[in-house]
Structure 1
Amino acid sequence: MNKLSRIIIIGFGTVIGCLGFADRVHAQAAYPYSAQAYIAYKQDTIAFTHCYLADVIHKTVLNDETIVIAHGIIIKTGKTKAVQIPHSATIIDCTGKTILPGFVLLHEHMFYPAASVSPYYVHYKQLPVSFPSLYLACGVTTARTAGSVEPYSDLSLKKEIDTHQIIGPSLYVTAPYMEGEGGFAPQMHEITTIDEAKRFVNFWADEGFTSFKAYMNLNRSVLKAAIDAAHARGLKITGHLCAVTYREAAEMGIDQLEHGFFAATDFIPGKQEDACVSELNPFKHIDPRGKQAKDLIDVLIKHKVILTSTLAVFEGLCKQDTITQNVLDAMSPDTRDMYLKYYSHERSADMDSAMVKEFVMEKEFADAGGLLCAGTDPTGNGDVLAGYGSLRAIELLTKEGFTPIEAIRIATYNGALALQAQQNIGSIEVGKHADLVVIDGNITDNINNIEKTEWVFKDGVGFNSQKILQGLKGQVGKY
């Protein structure tokens, strides 16, 4: 296996979280002193006036709207001239600004690749301080982790965020990877029998995880046992597959699949049962609008399988270098050196052609009625960081032909639907949590305006995005 293949494998992390909506502490519960410097607004009642409002339900951007929140809940929306603002409200004039729902992303990690070069050794480093803050600063208010390498760390992070000990998105936590024989990472436990799969699911469900993820080398019988065991507990399971095809997994009852179609082995010539054969471009032999692709899409939709798009992690493997200066500036010196000296050179023109087909197939899936969600996957070759990569993943959806508001819906309401939490989050509607992202500009004019985040409100508490990002410069990779 060459270095590029190894890196691509790293970029295929995942899992699905679907229990009830996470319990949240009252919005005004005190944050620690260390977080106070980042809080711009914590008043009980706030009115955002004269804003553009991203209405993801009707897929339109409304003009001159007002949103009123109280005690962490949205209580009013409507045209500014028609909304009666409570006398006690703090008023924020949002002329020229767009308010989006907080992002709900489904392929997130609290770790980052840290492989040694010689000898080559795959390793992941948990970043429990910088990654939650990065996610929140860039507008991610809810995140499903997508496979854990430090499971008790992820559980602790969830608890600390829920109780306001640290800042970060509300977490739906996924259990450790369910890998088969031949896994490449030492942090992944290999499961080879049906009984092992059942014990694994029940143990980690008892520990508090709300979802599971099947990984590349898991065979059909073990995957089927894992799916049945998860469903018996009322939980869900997703997969970054390889040995098992998408069609096989859909017919077994898997709930979700990660990385769009990049992890599908259905179209690889000579694919043998229960054998993982990874290709850089797994659909180079097919027409993405042809019968084979359509038949697979039909099967996925028939079985109500959700897809998570993770475009940013694959863009990093394309021939043209797309990393931005703010991402390099965020990295700690040793992390940046590792990336520039090693990972940044592992790119391929084959990935450019693969991306073109991926764009088509994800759009075809969504247009046919499939539920497409979005995720970051801050792994790959190291140029995708939490938060920054999240925004890029959303922007890239517009290259598939989605309008800016459609891309925002995929990254908000669709994610809430997948988590079965749409009654509480995912859109700007009365009665929902005040999870809001305030950006400078109108996304209709330019989707890249989502990078101009000013404040992120989570349960009605407003955080200064740029202060958080400034405080993390040169720190990502340390902790």
Structure 2
Amino acid sequence: MNDFVIKCGTLIDGTGRPAIHNARILVKNKRIAFIDTAISSDLDNHHIVVDALNKTVMPGIIDSHKHIINNGGSGIGIGLNIKQIKENLRQICYGGVTSVLDLGSADFIRIIPKLSWEQPKLFYAITILTCQDGYPAEYMNKKYYKLGSVKECQTEEDIKKAVKSLFKKGVAAIKTAVVSRTFDNKPQKCWTDKQLQTLTNEAHSYGLKVCAHITYIDDYAQAARCGVDSIHHAAFDGKMYEKDVEEMIKRDVIFVPTVSLCDLTIQGLENEWIYSKNYHPPVNEKIKENMRIFTKAYRDGSEDKPVGDFFVKLSKKEFKKTLYYQMENIKEYIRNGGKVAMGTDSSLGFSLHTTPIREIELLALAGLSNIDAIKASTFTSASVFAKENEIGSIEVGKFADILIIDGDVSNNISDINKIDIVFINGKMMYSKKEHPKTELWSV
């Protein structure tokens, strides 16, 4: 099925333009060949027509911050095995996410796109490049360094060699960290300006964008002035400085706030989701057991101490405040006209590899219109790793990564969760009618 027409009720093309009604999309050879907005069209007589006249048609969602080998719970790699990775990818695909940017896994991630699994398009950074003893040294086990998850660089030559090596491995972006203190407020070694500028210059010389993990408001300024292209995570230790917001916007920095991670994890812990008979996380028993232990540690733990073995070593009281500051910071960025992209940072806590509806809802709550929240989750997300000319919108010549939604997304952003059909490269990857799946929540 790679020569067909979709008759759209409402078409949202992902560019930020207003919705179009009663358009037809011709898909041929994996790409969008033609879009007809005329009242009547010869495309209506095509030999294969997909009827979406009472539905919304939009681009496939792009998650610009994923970790596909993380599975939920309190830490990194809990319950990790091949079967769970395969399930993670299936959930991502069935959830309407047609492309992901994985920002730190391991060298073996390069093999996954070659496997005949149900999966989205997988773009990756493989390795977090950091300075000697820099983030994530405070919590990450050194075994992950050996797997290629992290590379520490001491000299400018080290940085250049590391970027070149990753380019040769086919990465879609370079991931780094700009973090000057630990979760428990101790100084953390971080790049000098000269080192970070070397990294961004070298990445740009290969045509690669640079994505920076940032946790604290004091670190935004360095990332912006040293040429980082996208900043990942809304800081949770206070409100961003006005001058930093202005500088980031001036330099066209894309903000990927990943606010749903804390939101869903706090909701899951506070409401003890794992003990609900109506909660069906698509994870193995080892992960579920960790979720139970994590939930009990949260319930019984002191307000002034970290929660159990959760790698984010904030006190319980501080952790509960994170969403407030994150939302304030993303609201400020949107209010001032900054570019925002959708990324979930899943899977961790109770933010799982399913439809990223909560992240999209929070972007809308932060001030984006529904149309702009969709743009952030499609076109702008593709821009994070310089693929906006190939994916991210329904335009002639682009790959046919398309969702059919059984709802009115332009008026109710939460309707994105009502996925009917998922196409990737014009191939039907999921159909609600043909691929019934267990929902995360049952009634």
> Do the two structures share a fold, i.e. TM-score over 0.5?
yes
Larger deviation: 319-328 or 184-193?
319-328
Secondary structure of the structure 1 residue equivalent to 2:357: helix
1:157 aligns to 2:112 (yes or no): yes
Secondary structure of the structure 2 residue equivalent to 1:51: strand
In structure 1, the partner of 2:289 is 337
One-letter amino acid of the structure 1 residue matched with residue 85 of structure 2: P
1:175 aligns to 2:137 (yes or no): no
1:206 aligns to 2:168 (yes or no): yes
Alignment of 1:383-398 (within 5 A): 383-388=350-355, 390-398=356-364
Partner residue of 2:407 out of 433, 436, 441:
441
The one-character-per-residue Cα deviations of 1:16-36 (angstroms, maximum 9, x if unpaired) are xxxxxxxxxxxxxxxxxxxxx
Partner residue of 2:347 out of 365, 373, 379:
379
Residue 102 of structure 1 and its aligned partner are, at CA, apart by: 0.7
In 2, are the aligned partners of 1:115 and 1:123 still within 8 Å (CA)?
no
- Structure-2 separation of matches of 1:433 and 1:114: 31
- Structure-1 separation of matches of 2:161 and 2:189: 15
Residue 458 of structure 1 and its aligned partner are, at CA, apart by: 0.8
Evaluate the alpha carbon distance shift between residue 384 and residue 103 of structure 1 in structure 2; reply closer, same or farther with a 3 A threshold. Answer: same
In 2, are the aligned partners of 1:331 and 1:473 still within 8 Å (CA)?
no
- Structure-2 separation of matches of 1:441 and 1:236: 35
In structure 1, the partner of 2:89 is 132
Residue 416 of structure 1 and its aligned partner are, at CA, apart by: 2.3
In structure 2, the partner of 1:142 is 99
- Structure-2 separation of matches of 1:364 and 1:97: 33
Partner residue of 1:363 out of 285, 309, 331:
331
In 2, are the aligned partners of 1:128 and 1:157 still within 8 Å (CA)?
no
Residue 345 of structure 1 and its aligned partner are, at CA, apart by: 5.1
Evaluate the alpha carbon distance shift between residue 138 and residue 304 of structure 1 in structure 2; reply closer, same or farther with a 3 A threshold. Answer: same
Secondary structure of the structure 2 residue equivalent to 1:414: helix
Evaluate the alpha carbon distance shift between residue 227 and residue 430 of structure 1 in structure 2; reply closer, same or farther with a 3 A threshold. Answer: closer
Residue 437 of structure 1 and its aligned partner are, at CA, apart by: 0.5
1:107 aligns to 2:93 (yes or no): no
In structure 2, the partner of 1:258 is 232
Evaluate the alpha carbon distance shift between residue 344 and residue 300 of structure 1 in structure 2; reply closer, same or farther with a 3 A threshold. Answer: farther
Partner residue of 2:140 out of 163, 167, 185:
185
**How big is the alpha-carbon RMSD for the aligned residues of Structure 1 and Structure 2?**
3.0
1:245 aligns to 2:219 (yes or no): yes
In structure 1, the partner of 2:301 is none
Partner residue of 2:365 out of 374, 399, 407:
399
Larger deviation: 322-331 or 70-79?
322-331
Evaluate the alpha carbon distance shift between residue 379 and residue 463 of structure 1 in structure 2; reply closer, same or farther with a 3 A threshold. Answer: closer
The one-character-per-residue Cα deviations of 1:340-392 (angstroms, maximum 9, x if unpaired) are 232575474645544233223223323433221111211332x111233x222
The one-character-per-residue Cα deviations of 1:50-74 (angstroms, maximum 9, x if unpaired) are 4211133244233333322222222
- Structure-2 separation of matches of 1:157 and 1:342: 30
- Structure-1 separation of matches of 2:173 and 2:205: 12
In 1, are the aligned partners of 2:360 and 2:373 still within 8 Å (CA)?
yes
In 1, are the aligned partners of 2:404 and 2:420 still within 8 Å (CA)?
yes
One-letter amino acid of the structure 1 residue matched with residue 291 of structure 2: Y
Alignment of 1:259-298 (within 5 A): 259=233, 261-262=234-235, 281-283=236-238, 286=239, 293-298=241-246
In structure 2, the partner of 1:65 is 23
In 1, are the aligned partners of 2:13 and 2:393 still within 8 Å (CA)?
yes
Residue 318 of structure 1 and its aligned partner are, at CA, apart by: 3.0
In 2, are the aligned partners of 1:47 and 1:69 still within 8 Å (CA)?
yes
- Structure-2 separation of matches of 1:80 and 1:211: 40
- Structure-1 separation of matches of 2:197 and 2:208: 14
In 2, are the aligned partners of 1:315 and 1:322 still within 8 Å (CA)?
no
Secondary structure of the structure 2 residue equivalent to 1:184: coil
Evaluate the alpha carbon distance shift between residue 315 and residue 465 of structure 1 in structure 2; reply closer, same or farther with a 3 A threshold. Answer: farther
- Structure-1 separation of matches of 2:339 and 2:358: 20
Evaluate the alpha carbon distance shift between residue 309 and residue 469 of structure 1 in structure 2; reply closer, same or farther with a 3 A threshold. Answer: farther
Partner residue of 1:228 out of 181, 185, 201:
201
Which segments of 5 or more consecutive residues in structure 1 lack a partner in the other structure?
A: 1-41, 263-280, 287-291, 475-479
Larger deviation: 410-419 or 197-206?
197-206
- Structure-2 separation of matches of 1:322 and 1:428: 40
In structure 2, the partner of 1:27 is none
Residue 465 of structure 1 and its aligned partner are, at CA, apart by: 4.3
- Structure-2 separation of matches of 1:95 and 1:207: 44
In 1, are the aligned partners of 2:265 and 2:351 still within 8 Å (CA)?
no
Larger deviation: 346-355 or 226-235?
346-355
In structure 2, the partner of 1:21 is none
In 1, are the aligned partners of 2:68 and 2:347 still within 8 Å (CA)?
no
One-letter amino acid of the structure 1 residue matched with residue 354 of structure 2: G
- Structure-1 separation of matches of 2:202 and 2:279: 40
- Structure-2 separation of matches of 1:352 and 1:403: 27
Residue 239 of structure 1 and its aligned partner are, at CA, apart by: 1.4
Secondary structure of the structure 2 residue equivalent to 1:94: strand
- Structure-2 separation of matches of 1:322 and 1:397: 25
- Structure-2 separation of matches of 1:370 and 1:473: 33
Evaluate the alpha carbon distance shift between residue 234 and residue 444 of structure 1 in structure 2; reply closer, same or farther with a 3 A threshold. Answer: closer
In 2, are the aligned partners of 1:416 and 1:426 still within 8 Å (CA)?
yes
Residue 417 of structure 1 and its aligned partner are, at CA, apart by: 2.6
In structure 2, the partner of 1:23 is none
Partner residue of 2:5 out of 40, 43, 47:
47
In structure 2, the partner of 1:8 is none
1:91 aligns to 2:64 (yes or no): no
Evaluate the alpha carbon distance shift between residue 48 and residue 123 of structure 1 in structure 2; reply closer, same or farther with a 3 A threshold. Answer: closer
Residue 233 of structure 1 and its aligned partner are, at CA, apart by: 2.9
In the comparison of the two structures, how many residue pairs are matched?
394
One-letter amino acid of the structure 1 residue matched with residue 190 of structure 2: N
In structure 1, the partner of 2:184 is none
Partner residue of 2:250 out of 302, 326, 332:
302
